[in-house]
Structure formats: C-alpha cells, structure tokens
Chain A
Amino acid sequence: MTIGIVSYGAYVPRYRIKIEEIARLWGDDAEALKKGLMVYEKSVPDVDEDAATIAVEAARSAVIRSEIDPSRIGAVYTGSESHPYAVKPTSTIVAQAIGATPVMTAADFEFACKAGTAAVQACMGLVSSGMIDLGLAIGADVSQGAPSDALEYTAAAGGVACIIGNKESEIAAIIEDTYSFTTDTPDFWRREGMPYPEHGGRFTGDPGYFRHVTNGARGLMEKMGTKPEDYDYAVFHQPNGKFPTRAAKMLGFSRAQIEPGLVVPKIGNTYSGSCLMGIAATLDQAKPGDRIFATAFGSGAGSDAFSIRVTDKIEEIRNRAPTVAELIKDPVYIDYARYAKHKGKIRLA
C-alpha cells in the first residue's frame, strides 16, 4: 500500500544572531568558525516562543497547506529535546490548537535530533495498519548550547510538521521505504534538570554521526536496490554545514543534490526539526516524479533513512502555506544580550 506525506508545514522564528556576535563575547575566531562549521547565523526564538508554540505554528501550516479536516488526524507525535514540560505532553497542546482533539492518540518523542523522523515512522505504522486515517508528526526545538561551548554557535530554533496518510489522491510525496540503524552510543546527552547538554567533542563525529548516517543510508539503498544516481535530491541531518557535505561525499551523493535542502548555514541546527526542515525546503521546489533520499541522525544514537518520491499533488498544495525560503527571508538581527534574554540564559528573580 502507498503511504506518504499528505502535507508539511515549517516554522522558523524571525530573530537571528550572527556567528561574529557570539564569537565577540568569547574571543573566538569568527572567520575560522564560519569556515569550519559552514554556518553563518542561527535562528533565535522570541521571548514568548518555545518548542510548543513552534510545533503549533508548523502544524497549523501543514493543516492549512493540505486543507484537510483536522478531526481526521488520529495521532499527534511531537519530537523535541526542548519540550516545555518534563511531564505533560507538547502533543496535546498541538492537538488542541489545531482542532484534532479529542478522538485521537498522542505522545511526545525524544531522540535528540531524530525525534521528528521517529514520529514520522510511528505515524507510518499507525496509518498503514489502518489504525488511524491521518497522523501528524512534528520535530520542533528551541535547542540550547552552553555559553562559550562550540554548540552555542549552531543550536537554533525551528520546527516542521508532516501529515502522513495512505489515500493515493491525497499524497504529495510517497514514502517508498524507511530503514533505521540504532545503537547505544553516548555521543551527546542532557541529564534531567540540567539546562545545557554534554557532548563527546570529536567522539560525536565518526562513532556518532557518520557511523549511523552511513550505515542507515547504505542499509536503505541496499534494501531497495537503489543508488545515489537514482535520486534527484538528498537531505542529511544538518548539525552544521560540514557534516552533511562530508556524508554526501562519503555515500556518493553530489553537492548539487544536497544544495536545496541545506538550510543550516542560514538558520543553524534546528535539532528535531533539522532533517525535516531540509526535506521541507526540498519539497518546496521539487517537481512531480523527483526522488529525495533523506537520512536523519539523532545522538544516543540512531539514524532514520527515507526514500521519497514526489507526486503531482505537490504542485497543488505547495503554495498554500509559507515555504522555508519565505519563512527565513527577512530575519531580524539581535545582539548577544538580547539573545541571552530570549533564550532564558538570564535568570530573572
């Protein structure tokens, strides 16, 4: 049976901080950082935005884009590593705010940056088993990097929602297959109650990101009998610009294939929204029949790989809601002081 993306919606907050501005505070070499990370600025949430508000905006965008009746949604799963509550799901807030309640199931997901794609897979299962009509999977984050740590340059805010369904007439992008590669690898984590994550420095590269992304990607292509040349586009999890560029090269994908989905240089790493944001940016301009290869990565660690084929329906729905390019085109730049206030790094009495 066919299963796929009926609609998608993205949201990126308006504010940005430049690498130079963060580097100014810590006495770092901004040019070297920009070159090394391939990130120039990152998105910053407003004082009254969090993972829940971003998830709602992305979900509302997906609903508007597809014009579906939200009461058809039978499951809402939000993946994030910055859920506003430790206990009380973000997914019920989203469900209420889009009118999907009350006949539905919901839960929150966490798997570092691949919580959003894990939610997609769960929806795929529920839809294809006939348990639900439509599923809503969201990856949204207002990620925190510890001040003066390397991750502070890339930890950004944003979210993407996907509506998953199995009615051929409604599907805008078929998910041909999915494959995951998961191990217990502690490359990056955050303990309960701690404001900032810990990471293994260089350990996050080969044993973390590259091992799981390459194994996940190769595993899917082997399972399907496909090669990089069979795809028009590729999207890899983008914690910075360097990692996905290197992963593409390692796997045999070209620079041109990953270019449309590579948004991290302009907005930073949106964590649970990262790979989905690349997929959304790609769908914003893909033509019917185009094929997209995507592999998300989450620390801890695991990868979710997807083979996606765009249908005619994409042209009908694409322009009903803002594209990623439209969302990120008019940023408002702020300084470190304002950035610290917005990110709650200043504790008020």
Chain B
Amino acid sequence: MSVPRFWRNLDSRYNLEGTHCTECGEYFYPPRKTCVNCRRLGQIEPFRFKGTGEIVTYTVIRTAAEGFEEQAPYALAIIKLDEGPRLTAQVVGSPEKVHIGMRVKSVFRKLGEGGDRGMIYYGTKFIPVDA
C-alpha cells in the first residue's frame, strides 16, 4: 500500500468517515462520491458512522494475505453497520465467539506495516460487543 493512497483515506480508515446521499437517503461506507442510485443527480455529503453493527458473514483466514502473516489465523467478516452499509473488516477479540448475527463495535488497531522500515498502517477493526 503506497503512502499517498493510504493517507488519502485516513479519516475513513480511522474514523469511519463515509458519505450519505441526501437525494435517495442511502449511506455509503466505504465512501462514494457518486451515488449508485442517483448518479449525477445525487447530493453527497460526508457522514461519520457510529461503528456499531452486526456480522453478516465471516471466515477464519489461515493462509494470510501478504503483510498479514503475523496476525494469522484471523477472523474476517462482512459487517452491516447500523446505518445500513456493509464493510469488510477483521474481527478481533474472541474468535470462537464469532457468529452470523453477532453484534460488534469498532476499535482502533494496527492493520499492517510495510516491512521493518516501512509505514505502519492503522485502521478500524471490530470486536464483539459483549467481549
């Protein structure tokens, strides 16, 4: 992950900053500048999500993605935020508790790093609400 690419989305990664189309009412996280329903007729404004939601589906990844080897095995889930949109994120805490429908909330964690000399990437993961 390049430094400018990561930095550009810092508020989205750290603070769940997404967008909202006031024309059709749909919420977007990750943020979208073009509404999928209204396209050019959409009115997009920034929106910060609370960070609470529930697990739609998940897996436990044993063969890790490049840069995530230290964290394997890790639970990855598609989480539906209470405001509507779904995102993909790791679920930390108690992996044996992870199940479809589980309530989760956001936490600030390390995502990875560009090797010993590279940048450290921070972002949002989720933990079970009753951890």
- Indicate whether A185 reaches chain B with its CB closer than 8 angstroms: no
- Indicate whether B11 reaches chain A with its CB closer than 8 angstroms: yes
> In the bound complex, do residue A46 and residue B108 qualify as a contact, i.e. CB atoms below 8 Å apart?
no
Closest partner residue, chain B, to A56 (CB atom): B108
> In the bound complex, do residue B109 and residue A49 qualify as a contact, i.e. CB atoms below 8 Å apart?
yes
- Indicate whether A2 reaches chain B with its CB closer than 8 angstroms: no
Given A47-B71, A96-B11, A348-B70, answer yes or no on A57-B107 (Cβ-Cβ < 8 Å): yes
Please report the C-alpha to C-alpha distance between residue A14 and residue B93 in the assembled complex, in whole angstroms. 8
- A window 57-99: CB within 8 A of B: 57, 60, 84-85, 93, 96-97, 99
> In the bound complex, do residue A48 and residue B92 qualify as a contact, i.e. CB atoms below 8 Å apart?
yes
- B window 99-131: CB within 8 A of A: 107-111, 120, 122, 125, 131
Contact partner of A97 (CB less than 8 A), chosen from B14, B71, B93, is: B14
- Pairs A-B, 4 closest by C-beta atoms: A56-B108, A48-B110, A48-B109, A97-B14
Highest count of chain A CB atoms <10 Å: which of B15, B90, B111 = B15
- Indicate whether A180 reaches chain B with its CB closer than 8 angstroms: no
- Indicate whether A52 reaches chain B with its CB closer than 8 angstroms: yes
When distances are taken between beta carbons in the complex, the residues of chain B under 8 Å from A348 are 69-70
Taking A48-B109, A60-B108, A93-B122 as known contacts, 9 extra A-B pairs with beta carbons closer than 8 A to each other, sorted by chain A number, are: A47-B71, A48-B71, A48-B125, A49-B110, A52-B120, A53-B107, A57-B108, A96-B11, A348-B70
- A window 92-116: CB within 8 A of B: 93, 96-97, 99
Q: How far is the CB of A70 from chain B (nearest CB, A)?
A: 10
When distances are taken between beta carbons in the complex, the residues of chain A under 8 Å from B108 are 53, 56-57, 60, 97
> In the bound complex, do residue A47 and residue B120 qualify as a contact, i.e. CB atoms below 8 Å apart?
no
> In the bound complex, do residue A330 and residue B131 qualify as a contact, i.e. CB atoms below 8 Å apart?
yes
- Indicate whether B94 reaches chain A with its CB closer than 8 angstroms: yes
Q: How far is the CB of A49 from chain B (nearest CB, A)?
A: 6
Closest partner residue, chain A, to B125 (CB atom): A48
Instruction: Mark contacts of B61-92 with chain A using CB atoms, 8 A cut-off: 1 yes-contact digit, 0 otherwise.
Output: 00000000111000000000000000000101
Interface size on A, residues (CB 8 A): 21
> In the bound complex, do residue A99 and residue B120 qualify as a contact, i.e. CB atoms below 8 Å apart?
no
Contact partner of A53 (CB less than 8 A), chosen from B11, B15, B71, B109, is: B109
- Indicate whether A332 reaches chain B with its CB closer than 8 angstroms: yes
Q: How far is the CB of A13 from chain B (nearest CB, A)?
A: 11
- Indicate whether B10 reaches chain A with its CB closer than 8 angstroms: yes
Q: How many A-B residue pairs have CB under 8 A?
A: 47
> What are 10 A-B pairs with beta-carbon distances under 8 A?
A14-B131, A47-B70, A48-B110, A49-B110, A52-B120, A53-B107, A84-B120, A85-B120, A99-B15, A341-B70
> In the bound complex, do residue A97 and residue B15 qualify as a contact, i.e. CB atoms below 8 Å apart?
yes
Q: How far is the CB of B76 from chain A (nearest CB, A)?
A: 13
When distances are taken between beta carbons in the complex, the residues of chain B under 8 Å from A52 are 110, 120, 122
> In the bound complex, do residue A332 and residue B94 qualify as a contact, i.e. CB atoms below 8 Å apart?
yes
When distances are taken between beta carbons in the complex, the residues of chain A under 8 Å from B120 are 50, 52, 84-85
When distances are taken between beta carbons in the complex, the residues of chain B under 8 Å from A56 are 108, 122
Closest partner residue, chain A, to B69 (CB atom): A348
When distances are taken between beta carbons in the complex, the residues of chain B under 8 Å from A57 are 107-108
When distances are taken between beta carbons in the complex, the residues of chain A under 8 Å from B69 are 348
Please report the C-alpha to C-alpha distance between residue A85 and residue B131 in the assembled complex, in whole angstroms. 30
> In the bound complex, do residue A46 and residue B70 qualify as a contact, i.e. CB atoms below 8 Å apart?
no
Q: How far is the CB of A295 from chain B (nearest CB, A)?
A: 31
Closest partner residue, chain A, to B127 (CB atom): A14
Q: How far is the CB of B29 from chain A (nearest CB, A)?
A: 17
When distances are taken between beta carbons in the complex, the residues of chain B under 8 Å from A49 are 109-110
Q: How far is the CB of B12 from chain A (nearest CB, A)?
A: 11
Closest partner residue, chain A, to B106 (CB atom): A60
When distances are taken between beta carbons in the complex, the residues of chain B under 8 Å from A330 are 131
When distances are taken between beta carbons in the complex, the residues of chain B under 8 Å from A96 are 10-11, 14-15
Given A93-B122, A348-B69, answer yes or no on A53-B14 (Cβ-Cβ < 8 Å): no
Q: How far is the CB of B94 from chain A (nearest CB, A)?
A: 7
When distances are taken between beta carbons in the complex, the residues of chain B under 8 Å from A53 are 107-110, 122
